[in-house]
Structure 1
Amino acid sequence: MLVSRGSRTAALAACATILLATSACGSDKPEEGTAQQVRLYGTDGNMLNSFPAELKDHADLVDGMKGTTPLTPLPDEFKTRLRSVAPDLGDYLYAGETYDAVMISALAAQLAGSTDSPEIAKQVVGVTNGGERCEDLATCLSMAREGQDIEYRGVSVTRSGFTEVGEPATTSYGTLHFDGQQLNDGKTEFVGAGDESAASTKAPPKGKKQGDGAAPGTPLVIAGLWPKTGDLALAYPPMAAGAALAIKEINAAGGVLGKKVTWIEGDDGTSATKAKATVAELIDSGADVIIGAASSGISLAVLPETVQAGKILFSPSSTDDGLTTAEDKGLFFRTAPPDSLQGRALADVILRDGSQRISIVARKDSYGEGLQAVVKAELEKAGIGTDRLKLLTYEPPEGESAPQLDFGAGAKEIKDFGSDAVLVIGFGESAQVIRALADAGVQIRH
């Protein structure tokens, strides 16, 4: 259901919404002798059904944890199609965004009449704006083969198209809840964000009819840059499924420019070093479009390489605000919304619970620190003073052989601060933050 920002802000003002133990209405100190309970909050990097397993025998610590993620209500038939390529799929995070990123890339290539990356890039934004609307692949491809201007609407691209810099003008967020060590879909709330007027109105180059473009026998090559290993590996299955489904359906519908699309895949290892090496391999293998990376930090790290090679980097899940203004020569796109939108939604979720002393723990990278800064600013706008906010960061482990994250000192700081809410912005490794809180004697509210 949709929940308005106004109603949640009003709820904050009501003393009755302050659910945690406090000495009096408006006080930020717990009653003497009463153990302070802490609400846990998460973000798209850890609000997955696969996340509790990272806590092993303490998986129950996540029960009651809330968080947000860019999320559009997924039709059951789309989930069924995803399971046709990934029968054991347990999460759907960014599956729709990945599917749409591949579809938009294919449609842009068809309209460009070329597999040349810069020519494809000129069509990407226009594919989502201004033409005749189409909502299924077969229809969209048929129109594109005739060189017809289209307005693609898919799984995540629903309300409006891309801005001129190639990212969603509007999006939808889901508020997720962990119950019984899994996400309770019955409690998920959806809220829209963004501004439809921000969508580009610039006309793309006129589309070419099939046969007027790429040389015969030249297939479109799309590659995946995925966290098959590393701290974000728990997010790999749904994105891989979204890409596999898109490629399967594109080729079943006749492919692009008369040829089946070729798919190749690489592992970014949730590591900038590994990702750069993988990107070089993908480019050498002939990739025209690289779908990825999953992490904002990885996307920022490899963007100079993809730009220098003249290749498109199209991320379904990199949300760092800095990517909006990154030097990309018009070759970076994303179906994921910027964190300026997620930060507002996340702050609203925390404020609805009446939290008074809030700690925000983040990975020390562009994603973690960027989202941390946005949430802090939104909380301050709502009247939470800096004296009631504590910001902490941690260095994420680099590589599979790196020592496990030790957050003991940070956990003690949070306990001494008297936090009644802790937001954890991270990936799989953030389970160690939650474990450290429990080990430090922080009483987590379930």
Structure 2
Amino acid sequence: MLVSRASRAAIAAASAVLLLATSACGSDQPEEANTDTQVRLYGTDGNMQTAYAVELRERAGLLKGMKGTIPLTPLPESFKERLRTVDPKLTDYLYSAETYDAVVISALAAQLAGTTEPTEIAKQIVGVTTGGERCEDPNTCLRLARAGQDIEYRGVSLNRAGFTDAGEPATASYATLHFGDQKIDDGKTEFVGAGDESGASTKEPPRGRKPRAGKKGDGAPLVIGGLLPKTGDLALAYPPLAAGAALAIREINAAGGVLGEPVAWVDGDDGTNPETAKATVASHVANGVHVIIGAAASGISRAVLPDVVAAGRILFSPSNTDAGLTTVDDKNLYFRTAPPDSLQGRALADVILRDGPRKVAIVARKDSYGEGLQENVRAELERAGFGADRVRLLTYEPPADTQAVDFSASAQEIKTYGADAVLIIGFGESLKVITDLADAGVTLRH
């Protein structure tokens, strides 16, 4: 949590009291476990989307009643309508706003830097979100930046506070989503804020460079490359990410572009796979890309970041949540618009505790994202009084290529353990966890 050290102990104590006090929210009393140990399912941003149900086809009913959290700001209907002009088939909006903001912030930073040199752009990125004249759209913000005016961008996802010194949001908004009949029931969505506005950076960025009349900025045009999951375990999340990036590029260029020229976009796949992502990064570097938007998964960003840094480029992810990335050695070239999981762990634990479970199983994808968030949730449950005998931690290896996850043995372990709450932290591949639970005779509560 991004707060001062002096307040951490007090916040931890207060959080434990709050979580215990809210364990009965949504009903007058915590629900008593059924004798057949019915299990409630919970999810995270990697699996709380309608496309997840579509993949289950005739077994989509297994998801009914599943709920979980995702980093999500209430999205204006006008923003959704603009996204649908890019992709009329869009049904999910997960990380679309974060992607849009990442592209816009990159463009504004380049305009203020007066150059497409990535290290100079990087020096402006945090400052674009703090301490200047507030603006909320590319047209207004670019006009101010062209005049050399310090700005404070407030976009769709970044609307409460700016970035920390580490280049990530100081605050976050989370949505609690509920699966209804084979899709997310938007009518039940709830929003809660997290983080501390005082964590935003107070450092002064370099003074913006006002271009001379008739002169373009150094190195224009600005070239931005995608490193998004067109394929792989996170392919379900690709449409809203791609739509957010495309909308941002379109609106930036409609506002006159950056440094006197339209911003160029170079598409690229991260494949939810380190080898695929590394190949894309190498291609982007060879093609003169200055800023890379992605990767989608935290583990993929960790894998490619050394290559990006060595090439002197910027990696700007709209969806990385691994808390460990806050302190990664990035030579100040890594940024993200998604909040770290240290904030989401508390929100997830609260959602689970509201239903009054006796035993909780936390199933996580075995990578930095899955195991990191698993530990954050476990720690929050511990603060709420759940000892080791009431929480079971399990992991699974992410599948290689088209291989499916085999969770059958762990499903039997959960059944024997008697968990009445199962949190699943994973991507599209985690569907197999749910079907294996059902096939093991675990009764899923709807």
Q: TM-score band (shorter)?
A: over 0.9
Query: What does residue 281 of structure 1 align with?
Result: 283
In structure 1, what is the Cα distance between the partners aligned to 2:138 and 2:198? 26
* Deviation, structure 1 residue 8: 5.3
Partners in 2 of 1:282 and 1:211 — Cα distance?
Answer: 30
Q: CA deviation at 1:7?
A: 6.0
Q: For residue 140 of structure 1, what is the aligned residue in structure 2?
A: 141
Distance of 2:399 and 2:138 partners within structure 1: 41
> What's 2:360 paired with?
358
- Structure 2 match to 1:178: 179
Q: Given the alignment, which residue of 237, 259, 270 partners 2:272?
A: 270
Letter in 2 for 1:408: S
For residues 295 and 99 of structure 1, the distance between their equivalents in structure 2, rounded to whole angstroms, comes to: 17
- In the other structure, the counterpart of 2:86 is 85
Residues 216/364 of structure 1: CA separation in 2 closer, same or farther (3 Å cut): closer
CA offset digits 1:256-303 (Å, max 9, x no partner): 000000000111111011111111111111110000000000011100
- CA spacing shift, 1:388–1:8, aligned 2, 3 Å: closer
For 2:52, give the aligned amino acid: F
Residue equivalent to 2:375 = 373
Q: Where in structure 2 are the equivalents of 1:21-170 lying within 5 Å?
A: 21=33, 34-170=35-171
Aligned 8 A contact 1:211 1:257 in 2: no
Q: Distance in 2 between matches of 1:130 and 1:110?
A: 17
Distance of 2:339 and 2:425 partners within structure 1:
16
Residues of 2 paired with 1:163 and 1:284: CA distance?
31
| Cα pair 1:174 1:188 within 8 Å, conserved | yes
- Output one character per residue of 1:170-229: Cα deviation in whole Å (capped at 9) or x when no partner: 010000000001111111000000000000000000000124986567200001101100
Give me the whole-angstrom Cα distance separating, in 1, the residues matched to 2:218 and 2:385: 62
Deviations 1:64-123 (A, max 9, x none): 000000000000000000001111101000000000000000000000000000000000
Q: 1:214 to 1:367 in 2, by over 3 A?
A: farther
Aligned amino acid, residue 309 of structure 1: A
Q: Which residue of 2 aligns with 1:194?
A: 195
Q: Which amino acid aligns with 1:267?
A: D
Is the deviation greater in 46-55 or in 242-251?
46-55
Equivalent residue for 1:436? 436
Matches within 5 A, 1:238-249: 238-249=240-251
State the partner residue of 2:395: 393
Matches within 5 A, 1:199-218: 199-211=200-212, 218=220
Listed as ranges, the gaps of 5+ residues in structure 1 are 23-33
Distance 2:218 2:375 in 1: 50
Write the distance in 1 (CA, Å) between the matches of 2:422 and 2:32. 13
Structure-2-length-normalised TM-score = 0.94
- Quote the residue 2:21 is aligned against: 10
Coordinate RMSD, CA, aligned:
1.6
Aligned residue for 1:151, secondary structure, equals strand
Q: Given that residues 101 and 315 in structure 1 are in contact (C-alpha distance below 8 angstroms), is that contact kept between their aligned partners in structure 2?
A: yes
Is the CA contact 2:39–2:420 (under 8 Å) kept in the aligned structure 1?
A: yes
Q: Distance in 1 between matches of 2:385 and 2:436?
A: 29
Aligned partners of 1:113 and 1:211 also within 8 Å:
no
User: Partner of 1:266: helix, strand, or coil?
Assistant: coil
Q: Given residue 21 of structure 1, which amino acid in structure 2 is its aligned partner?
A: A
From 274, 290, 293, the equivalent of 2:292 is: 290
Aligned equivalents of 2:413, 2:29: Cα separation in 1: 26
User: What per-residue deviation string (whole Å, max 9, x for no partner) do you get for residues 229-271 of structure 1?
Assistant: 0110000000000000000000011000000000001111110
Check 1:420–1:216 CA distance in 2 against 1; reply closer, same or farther (3 A cut).
closer
State the alpha-carbon separation in 1 of the partners of residues 358 and 208 from structure 2.
55
Partners in 2 of 1:16 and 1:160 — Cα distance? Answer: 35
Partner in structure 1 of residue 343 of structure 2: 341
TM-superposed deviation, 1:54 = 2.4
> In 2, distance between residues paired with 1:91 and 1:214?
38
Distance 2:32 2:310 in 1: 53
Residue in structure 1 matched with residue 11 of structure 2 by the alignment = none
Counterpart amino acid of residue 21 in structure 2:
A
Is 1:19 aligned with 2:31? yes
Matched, 1:417 2:403: no
Corresponding residue number in structure 2 for 1:258: 260
Aligned partners of 2:349, 2:18: CA distance in 1, in Å?
14
Counterparts of 2:161 and 2:218, CA distance in 1: 35
Counterpart contact for 2:217–2:260, Cα < 8 Å: no
Taking the aligned partners of 2:20 and 2:160, their CA distance within structure 1 comes to 25
Contact 1:177/1:184, CA 8 A, preserved across alignment: yes
* CA deviations over 1:383-406 (Å, ceiling 9, x no partner): 011111100000011223xx2111
TM-score (norm 1): 0.94
**Aligned pairs, how many?**
430
The residue aligned with 2:5 is none
- Residue 437 of structure 1: how far off its partner (Å): 0.2
What is the one-letter code of the residue matched to 2:131? G
- 5+ residue gaps, structure 2: 1-13
Higher mean Cα deviation, 279-288 or 123-132?
Answer: 279-288
- What is the distance in 2 between the residues matched to 1:414 and 1:424? 12
Q: Which piece of structure 1 moves more, 133-142 or 100-109?
A: 133-142
Q: Distance in 2 between matches of 1:216 and 1:90?
A: 40
Residues in 1 aligned to 2:250 and 2:86: alpha-carbon distance in whole angstroms: 9
For residues 18-63 of structure 1, what are the alpha-carbon distances to aligned partners after superposition, in whole Å with 9 as ceiling and x for unaligned? 21425xxxxxxxxxxx211000000000001100122222111000
Identity of aligned residues (%): 67
Deviation at 1:16, TM superposition (A): 5.0
